[in-house]
Amino acid sequence: MDLVSGSPFWPLRNGLIASYPGLDASVECHVAVLGAGITGALVAWELAEAGVDVVVVDKRDVATGSTCASTCLLQYEVDTPLHRLVHLVGEAHAVRAYRACYAALKKIPRLDRVLGGGHGFRRAESLQGASRAAHLPGLRRELEMRRLHGFDVEWWSRARLARESTLPYPGALVARDAAQIDAHRFTHSLLRAASARGARVYDRTRVTRRTSTRGGVTLHTDRGVKIRARRLVVATGYETAPYLAEGLSKLVSTFALVTEPRAHFSGWPGERLIWETARPYVYLRKTDDGRALIGGYDEPACDPRRRAALLERKTTALARRFRQLLPKVPCEVAYAWGGTFAETPDGLPYIGAHPSAPHTFFTLGYGGNGITFSVIAAEIIRDLICEGRSRDAELFRFDRPAMV
Ligand SMILES: Cc1cc2nc3c(=O)[nH]c(=O)nc-3n(C[C@H](O)[C@H](O)[C@H](O)COP(=O)(O)OP(=O)(O)OC[C@H]3O[C@@H](n4cnc5c(N)ncnc54)[C@H](O)[C@@H]3O)c2cc1C
């Protein structure tokens, strides 16, 4: 599947940071990681750190799947607000899921430091505006629910929004804990660090078939060579259909653009990430080279040809919304792109084993918080492989109770 249309910003800006060899001879390992996007890279890093013998394989150049298209806002709040999630999965489950995301968010700066920095990581607050007055009660319920469970959030009235920004929202919820990153660079650094700890990384090697044996899994590749592993981690992002028959998520198309760099962002409330309550929503952040990055306006289809055909219209719509929100900031579009994206019924990812796939773990970090979910997934998979259990695995298992 073609995961990206148009011109994603990060690979243009960063260039080809590193290349890995194709797999030319059959190999054996303890764990094979299928996919070298941010998810596979995090899994490989965690396992290599724990001393596990890992092979990573990708059919593309590493980090050029969905990861290179990501707008890379880092938030602990998932697409389903906490006050709704409690009705879908129960209060204890919902709060633990939010806390797991919060812990993942706090882990990313530590990883950034360990890897030497330079990944555009920056802490920020996240401002979610009520798109309409009718959304205010729901947003206030969310504020109360998050406060009740110890999350640091505050309310911005229309007057405060008008004082501190040009955002035309009738109210907003501001979460103190959020961040942003360049996931393309971060993925490269994770793979480099995992390689330094013994992980073997191969790109441009497509896995065409998987067979199970009593002792593990064999991956057959388009180069005619095989990978034999005791465990397989499927980190193929939105291309999981060949490995999992079940239709657990809905694939959609999403769109983004970056502007030309600007010296000032008059009317932007500080360095905050901005998003809104409308569905589909628009979200905004700044880049560390002084651009505005705007994304959203998802379409309920993932056909790459249709996505490419929609790109111009979606770019115009995103730019128009930007001008409504920040009329004092010129919106000169530099690059625009579209990508595949997935939603789950409760907004939580699927992580762990599935009865249809022996010796295999899945890391399906679907949803607006894909990167945060990948951090959680990497820890869970490491613990399941190294210790046989993980405290948080039950939160994201395939057969979790769903009241949707
Ligand atoms: C436009 C856009 C904006 C986004 N914004 C955000 C955001 O602001 N915040 C956030 O947290 N998340 C965001 N996301 C989601 C986030 O980008 C994804 O969750 C994340 O990049 C998924 O990473 P991944 O490693 O799982 O998948 P990918 O990066 O797609 O990596 C999977 C890899 O598997 C490889 N692969 C697949 N099949 C095979 C095979 N048969 N053989 C070998 N290799 C194979 C692919 O080549 C690919 O490189 C956004 C996504 C998009 C598209």
Whether residue 104 lies inside any domain: the answer is no
CB 108 within 8 A of CB 101: no
Return the pLDDT at 252.
Answer: 87
Mean of the per-residue pLDDT values of the chain: 95
Summarize the confidence of residues 381-402 as an average pLDDT: 93
Residue with the two structure tokens 């920056």? 122
CB 153 within 8 A of CB 175: yes
CATH of the domain at 281: 3.30.9.10
For residues 239 and 361, state if they share a domain. Answer: yes
Whether residue 197 lies inside any domain: the answer is yes
Binding site membership of 235 for ligand 1 (Cβ less than 6 Å): yes
HSE-up of residue 118 (Cα within 13 Å, Cβ side): 10
For residues 254 and 235, state if they share a domain. Answer: no
Most ligand 1 atoms within 8 A of CB, residue of 20, 208, 236 to mutate: 236
For residues 332 and 286, state if they share a domain. Answer: yes
Token digits of residue 219: 């991956």
Binding site membership of 341 for ligand 1 (Cβ less than 6 Å): yes
For residues 196 and 320, state if they share a domain. Answer: no
Binding site membership of 236 for ligand 1 (Cβ less than 6 Å): yes
Whether residue 315 lies inside any domain: the answer is yes
For residues 336 and 356, state if they share a domain. Answer: no
For residues 324 and 254, state if they share a domain. Answer: yes
Please give the residue range of the domain that contains residue 387: 15-70+184-248+347-396
Summarize the confidence of residues 120-134 as an average pLDDT: 97
Distance between Cα 3 and ligand 1 center (Å): 8
Distance between Cα 69 and ligand 1 center (Å): 8
For residues 365 and 327, state if they share a domain. Answer: no
For residues 356 and 314, state if they share a domain. Answer: no
Binding site membership of 30 for ligand 1 (Cβ less than 6 Å): no
Give how many domains the chain has, as a whole number: 2
The single-letter code of the amino acid at 298 is: D
User: Residue with the nearest Cα to atom 32 of ligand 1?
Assistant: 236
Distance between Cα 38 and ligand 1 center (Å): 7
Whether residue 42 lies inside any domain: the answer is yes
Which of residues 280 and 122 earns the better pLDDT score?
A: 122
For residues 57 and 198, state if they share a domain. Answer: yes
Binding site membership of 237 for ligand 1 (Cβ less than 6 Å): yes
Whether residue 170 lies inside any domain: the answer is no
Summarize the confidence of residues 331-341 as an average pLDDT: 94
For residues 201 and 312, state if they share a domain. Answer: no
| Band of pLDDT at residue 368, cut at 50, 70 and 90 | confident
pLDDT at 403 over 60: no
Task: Give the Cα separation of 131 and 133 in Å (integer).
Answer: 7
